[in-house]
Amino acid sequence: MQMKILIIHGPNINILGRRDKSVYGNFTYEELNNLIYEKSRELGFEVDIFHSNCEGQIIDKLHQVMDADIDGIIINPGAYTHYSIAIRDAIEVLKIPVIEVHLSNVFGREDFREKSVTAPVCTGQISGFGVNSYILALEYFKLMNL
């Protein structure tokens, strides 16, 4: 049976390639998604990618997962990482592993980026590896599925 992974991209991920390349890298949003699809196929996963710049839509998607046949979530909450108690609460009730990812090293940037209100209710956090943060999260799910 194929493992099903949901990818949730939060605010401003859709404008990759236009954002500060020294922080976010050279990949565009489309290239990031293509990389995720390619790696997912290689690992034998079914992947669904969702993006929203709106907090409520991300929360709604997380609520839908409670009744869906999903094995895990990879979420990049973007700036919501630092203050969205509502996204945190939506993650907390899930009974599946959730990996928080960030393209940049949030601990090497502004002080306010060092605090994640969502990470404590996630299985783990991967940051600082650019688009490979998503790949490392997918690899975690492969290891977990052994």
Pairwise CA distance, residues 60 & 6, whole Å: 13
In this prediction the pTM is 0.92
Query: What is the bridge-based pairing of β-strands 124-127 and 98-102?
Result: parallel
Q: Note the pLDDT tens digit of each residue in 58-77.
A: 999 999 999 899 999 999 99
Catalytic-role residue among 9, 51, 80, 102: 102
End-to-end CA distance of the chain: 13
pLDDT of residue 116: 86
pLDDT of residue 113: 62
Domain ranges of the chain: 3-144
| C-alpha atoms less than 13 angstroms from C-alpha of 3 in its C-beta half-sphere | 22
**DSSP H or E segment with residue 75:** strand 72-76
Pairwise CA distance, residues 31 & 29, whole Å: 5
pLDDT of residue 121: 97
Q: Could you name the CATH architecture of 3-144? A: 3-Layer(aba) Sandwich (3.40)
Catalytic-role residue among 24, 51, 80, 134: 24
**102 carries an active-site annotation:** yes
- Phi first, then psi, for residue 132 (nearest 5°) are -70, -15
